[in-house]
Amino acid sequence: MGRTFCEKHRLSSIELTCQHVAEEIKNKRYGRFHDAAILLVCEDCLHKYHLEPLEDNSLALSDPLSDDERLDEIFHELEIFEHMEGRATLCSECIAVAKVEQARRNGEIDPFPTYERTLNSNHGNEIESFQTQLSANFKFAKSVRPFAKKNPFALFIKPGAYTYPLTVMIYYVTSESQQEQIIQFIIEYFRWKDLNQVKVQFYEAEVWKLKSNPETGISSAERGMEKLLREVCLNCLKERE
C-alpha cells in the first residue's frame, strides 16, 4: 500500500477506510471494524458493499490465493473503494493510536507495544545530532549502498513512530565487545532524555539489490536479505511482528 503525509506522524503508510471508520478514528475511537483485505470498514459498509467474502477470517488457509487471484482481488477492492461514499485515506499510525486509546478507555491492556517516547520524523535535527555523535565516537565501515549521497558510513538511523521505535542499524561490527561499547554509548546518550526508546541492530553485512527501468533509464536500490547478528531494545519492548 502507498504512503501519506500526516500532520502529526509525518510520512506514514495508508489505510483505506469508509467514512464512518474515518470519523471514529478522528475522535480516537475504535469500534467493531472489519478488515476486508486492504479495506477497513464498519459493520454497515461491510454489508452495504458486500465485502463479507473479503474478510481475513473468511479466507481458508488451505486454499491460498495465487498471485493473479490476489491481484484480481485487490483491483476489485480498489474499484469498490472508488465508488464508496465518503471514502477516506488514513494514516496507519493514527489508526494505531485510536486502537490503543480505545483499549485504555475500556480498561484493557494495550493491544501492542507503543512508542510514545521515541524520536520520530518530527525530530530530524535531534536524530542528525545523534548520528553525528555516533560517527564521531566510533569508526564505522564505509557503506556499499549504491547511489549514496549523504551518509557514507554503514550506519543507518530510521526515525521511530507510534508503532515502532527509533532504529539504529549498524553493519560490519561483528565483535561482541565492540557492539557492547556502542550499546553503552547509546544508553548514556539517551539516559536523561525524555524521548529515549531505541532499537539497536547489528548486521553482518549490507545486501543491496539493483533495479532499473529500461523505459525510463532510472535505477534504484533496495535491501536484500541481511543477516541480523544482534538486536537490543532500550527503554522499550520489541514491536509487534
Q: 54: which 3 cell numbers?
A: 473479503
SS3 92: helix
Residues 220, 150, single domain; the answer is yes
Domain hosting residue 202, numbered range: 121-234
Q: 80, 105, 130: which is the final residue of a domain?
A: 105
Rounded to 5, what percent of the chain is helix, strand, coil? 35, 25, 40
- Could you tell me if residue 130 is inside a domain? yes
Instruction: Report the number of distinct structural domains present in the chain.
Output: 2
Nearest to 160 by CA among 234, 88, 221: 234
User: 70 and 15, same structural domain?
Assistant: yes
Predicted local confidence at residue 14, as pLDDT: 87
Q: What are the pLDDT tens digits along the chain (241 aa)? A: 577 788 888 878 888 899 999 999 999 999 999 987 788 999 999 888 888 877 754 444 344 545 555 555 665 667 777 777 888 889 999 999 999 999 999 999 999 999 999 999 999 999 999 999 999 999 999 999 887 667 789 999 999 999 999 999 999 999 999 999 999 999 999 999 999 999 999 999 999 988 877 777 787 888 899 999 999 999 998 887 6
Among 48, 77, 105, which residue terminates a domain?
A: 105
Q: Which of 48, 70, 105 is the last residue of a domain?
A: 105
